[in-house]
Structure 1
């Protein structure tokens, strides 16, 4: 911790910074957050939202989206390997089951298990930005947006381009990525392919990851447009200690397919988007890699969905509305043949209250074939104290339904519980945002009181894990962040970006004597993240990231990562990364040992 503060202090004190106009911060505040109905600029949001933009994606020492998200304040990424081979993402102390992943607003939730949430079939090169919404998001996105939501955004380009990136590193690691844009008249289209593999950093941790992505869009006229997408991901990996330490020879192979088609009408005062999508996830799991007959699971889940979301503007503000219908099917040799149906209705209103105040409130009503109707209201109140300072507070009800693994799984170390009921939570937060001259800062206090929290428990190591409903569980915390980004025009040595954040979370869940819990009491307790992006001359960039992480009931650890880019935005560039420079011995999930110090380097080609 002290080392991190000294490094950052010396950077600020010793570097000569010349600033003309802060275009980066202006663009950030004007970014429209891509929610499905009412869309507001980042600067007018009364929510705690972090935007991961192209600069972050390109300069962070990371080879996958999962690794990039590990540097986002308040986000807890628990990897079971490198390059995003398998990772769980939690927000504000929530579990991986309580975070909703989306791609361009399309829900990626998996009825089998939340472990597949991060099977996002999009190469990192193709991602335009990522919007991380912290806090209850059920009213915005629907079911399972319990503690937060992560929306991955891609963008169609009207200009031709070609990007190619390759790398190699320790553990026999190598990868290649391609992303291209090839518009033809009014028709825009993007294509992307990526492949990564490694021998693994320890026994039975090898992996192969492939992604294919295609997206096209056609502007029919100035108000109507069509957009379609199809993508595929294949990841196969040795799963040493992934789900239990009793069987180090675990192995898994997962194939994810996602396709969608949407139509958008965008008029002067009326907006409507309709879309249909299908997601399939095929999962083969072996407890012993080379002995499938010993214990093997084969699951195939399908999700079919129709959605209509829109808004209209009137004298009282903007009214948002939405409908969704969703069918989830599962065919599994372990979980059985299952299906369930969901219907949802969204209604919300944004009220400008004079020049400084605004109110956004609404409700999401949900019908699940297994649980009937439930209603989830919420709202946010904002006060624009000045051009640079905004105060806000919010309240929301969130929920999560059990996965089929929670309900029906049968295995040597895990057993489901078909008597589980959905989790529900009451959420409150109050915060302040400040932005001026390249600085963006935020301070938030939040509280989440949960009824019927689903948690896996066991009385001893010889008994299988089984999920139970806890009656009342409370989480509260403080989030503080400060970011400074500039676009210097001169000076040989200059600071392009400086960020620092601290998050503290407290949980009231107490383990009963003789009962061990698996996820809730290992949530983040203290998280400190800092980083500095330094420019050297016109072509060299050096990014340094430090993290201090302490989870409840576990030993804290400190990580230092770096990346150097040469000519990143030019036609041909080079980069090198060093991860875990401190050679820290640490674990993020279960008993999976993360790699010690390791390196990788590569090239990139940009053609327009």
Structure 2
């Protein structure tokens, strides 16, 4: 093994002259936010949006998208175990049910429960960037974008490439990924194929897991104005679930298989852009309360989502007009929830205009029809003021909503009751912010407010018994108000010389205050379990043009859990060259903490691996 490592180091040195340009290092001002209708330059957005670029994904000490997101201001990631085997993500105090996940604009919401929202059938190495929209997103994406939305974006390269990565580390963790690009027909047909496999023996009893992802995307240029795209993906994850949902059964176990298939057509000519697409998402979920005794208690769920969408925009002398329509069918076949299905119809309309040289205004409406609730309408508006090339003020207002999941409506077990009479939850949100960007320096501060008078939360009546015998029941509680502010600073100083250079530093602080009005003594499971204080700091340095060191630290204080501080680090050698190496250490501080459920997160642990880049 020692000889092999020495040989690989020699090869990496030999190929050093073939260093590739780090094309992932892109000025954020040049990034275009890819919503389903509008395309807006990042520097002209009137929303609080975080962009996680390819370079940040590559250099963050993380083995999953969940872990990468945990370093994003205002985003609350609750992991159950290592490497994102299962995690819930909330934004600005919202629960996991109130966050919409998308892959290239395709909604990944699971009607059974959004506990499966992060079952993204895509290797981390296949992601080009991540767009995190904070605040109401119903006007843009429809229902479920209640507190925010996260859009994972991939690309179809025009040149051939291959990236391979393999690693091993603590807790018997090991994994490998392969991402390839193979354009054909003179570049008219572009395609990527990605595969990854991650596994671990577990950091404590019954926490082993295996996760595999296979992803394919292809794009065909029919002519100058028409393009076809196809996407197919599957994810398989099986894991011991000790402490995931209860601490009374340490041998819980779960197996999930998620598939996604999509076909889209894009027409663009002059000022007109129209995209139509169809997609199907299927999720199998088997959960056992006792891993090796399936007859004791097992839930089996199969959920399907079928959707058709048409979105477009038209640029003219009065601005840009966006329009869209979506139809969606959600189905589930479950031994606990029964056989259920529901249909949605949604219509989008919006307009954006720039005026008086420094102002831009955008307003729109999303109207949704659901046979049980009828038509509901959700307007929103944004206003931006470009004080100078470096300074921008913005404000926005929107109404968002979410339909209850099948679990909230129908799930029952000895600890939980269903509530088929639940109504959709709705909120009114307001935001005002300021951005300053100049010569590698970026500062942003924002205040936000979200009010809901029919929030869905699981609660139960109090009891004098040591173990509360009352069951958790989802209800539309009276009202909840979230107030908060976020401040972030990022700077790329490039201080130093060839031997040592400070490349990037970042710091952010997020504060949230929540006021809940409900019956006295009632226990709430989620409504007051949000972030209160969140500090995130990052630093990246470079040594001898070959070695990159990334440090990430975060202090997290939630309203119902003990606060903690965790620091992670990663070192890359020859990251952009033909052969490279990396080493990561998580939880350098060896902190004891819990993020979700009853799962004690692991102490200090590390892994190391190799990378191969062929162009």
Q: Answer whether TM exceeds 0.5 for this pair.
A: yes
* TM-superposition CA deviations, 1:53-104 (whole Å, max 9, x none): 1111000000000000000010000000111100000000000000000000
Aligned with 1:596: secondary structure? Answer: coil
**Residue 515 (structure 1) shift:** 1.8
Partner of 2:136: 136
Give me the whole-angstrom Cα distance separating, in 1, the residues matched to 2:213 and 2:99.
Answer: 23
Give me the whole-angstrom Cα distance separating, in 2, the residues matched to 1:230 and 1:82.
Answer: 27
Consecutive unaligned residues in structure 2, runs of 5 or more: 1-21
1:77 aligns with 2:84: no
**Residue 419 (structure 1) shift:** 1.3
Partner of 1:569: 576
1:377 aligns with 2:359: no
Query: RMSD value over aligned CA atoms?
Result: 1.4
Any residues of structure 2 matched to 1:320-335 within 5 Å, and which?
A: 320-335=322-337
**Residue 372 (structure 1) shift:** 1.2
Give me the whole-angstrom Cα distance separating, in 2, the residues matched to 1:507 and 1:494.
Answer: 42
1:605 aligns with 2:612: yes
Partner of 2:6: none
1:160–1:182 CA contact under 8 A, matched in 2 = yes
Using the size of structure 2 for normalisation, the TM-score is 0.94
1:514 aligns with 2:521: yes
Any residues of structure 2 matched to 1:151-170 within 5 Å, and which?
A: 151-170=151-170
1:540 aligns with 2:547: yes
1:415 aligns with 2:417: yes
**Residue 362 (structure 1) shift:** 0.4
Partner of 2:52: 52
2:477–2:518 CA contact under 8 A, matched in 1 = no
Partner of 1:462: 469
Partner of 1:235: 237
Partner of 1:42: 42
Aligned with 2:171: secondary structure? Answer: coil
Distance 1:389 1:493, change over 3 A: same
Partner of 2:10: none
Count of residues in Structure 1 that have an aligned counterpart in Structure 2: 587
Give me the whole-angstrom Cα distance separating, in 1, the residues matched to 2:491 and 2:591.
Answer: 28
Aligned with 2:601: secondary structure? Answer: coil
Partner of 2:602: 595
- The equivalent position to 1:309 in structure 2, one of 308, 311, 336, is 311
- The equivalent position to 1:266 in structure 2, one of 265, 268, 286, is 268
1:550 aligns with 2:557: yes
2:479–2:517 CA contact under 8 A, matched in 1 = no
* TM-superposition CA deviations, 1:376-406 (whole Å, max 9, x none): 0001000000000000000000001100000
* TM-superposition CA deviations, 1:5-30 (whole Å, max 9, x none): xxxxxxxxxxxxxxxxx999872111
- The equivalent position to 2:503 in structure 1, one of 476, 496, 505, is 496
- The equivalent position to 2:586 in structure 1, one of 564, 579, 583, is 579
1:361 aligns with 2:368: no
Give me the whole-angstrom Cα distance separating, in 2, the residues matched to 1:334 and 1:62.
Answer: 36
Aligned with 2:28: secondary structure? Answer: helix
1:28 aligns with 2:38: no
1:204–1:240 CA contact under 8 A, matched in 2 = yes
Give me the whole-angstrom Cα distance separating, in 2, the residues matched to 1:451 and 1:486.
Answer: 46
**Residue 486 (structure 1) shift:** 5.4
Distance 1:260 1:361, change over 3 A: same
**Residue 489 (structure 1) shift:** 9.6
Runs of 4+ in structure 1 deviating by more than 6 angstroms, as ranges, are 22-26
Give me the whole-angstrom Cα distance separating, in 1, the residues matched to 2:247 and 2:513.
Answer: 28
Aligned with 1:522: secondary structure? Answer: coil
Partner of 1:116: 116
2:31–2:42 CA contact under 8 A, matched in 1 = yes
Any residues of structure 2 matched to 1:105-254 within 5 Å, and which?
A: 105-185=105-185, 186-254=188-256
Aligned with 1:68: secondary structure? Answer: helix
Distance 1:124 1:362, change over 3 A: same
Aligned with 1:140: secondary structure? Answer: helix
Name which of structure 1's ranges 314-323 and 408-417 shifts more when overlaid on structure 2. Answer: 408-417
- The equivalent position to 2:492 in structure 1, one of 485, 490, 495, is 485
1:511–1:517 CA contact under 8 A, matched in 2 = no
Partner of 2:451: 449
Consecutive unaligned residues in structure 1, runs of 5 or more: 1-21
1:123–1:194 CA contact under 8 A, matched in 2 = yes
Aligned with 1:452: secondary structure? Answer: coil
* TM-superposition CA deviations, 1:155-211 (whole Å, max 9, x none): 001100000000111111000100000110211110000001111000011100000
**Residue 410 (structure 1) shift:** 1.1
Give me the whole-angstrom Cα distance separating, in 2, the residues matched to 1:439 and 1:183.
Answer: 37
**Residue 464 (structure 1) shift:** 2.3
Partner of 2:277: 275
1:67–1:83 CA contact under 8 A, matched in 2 = yes
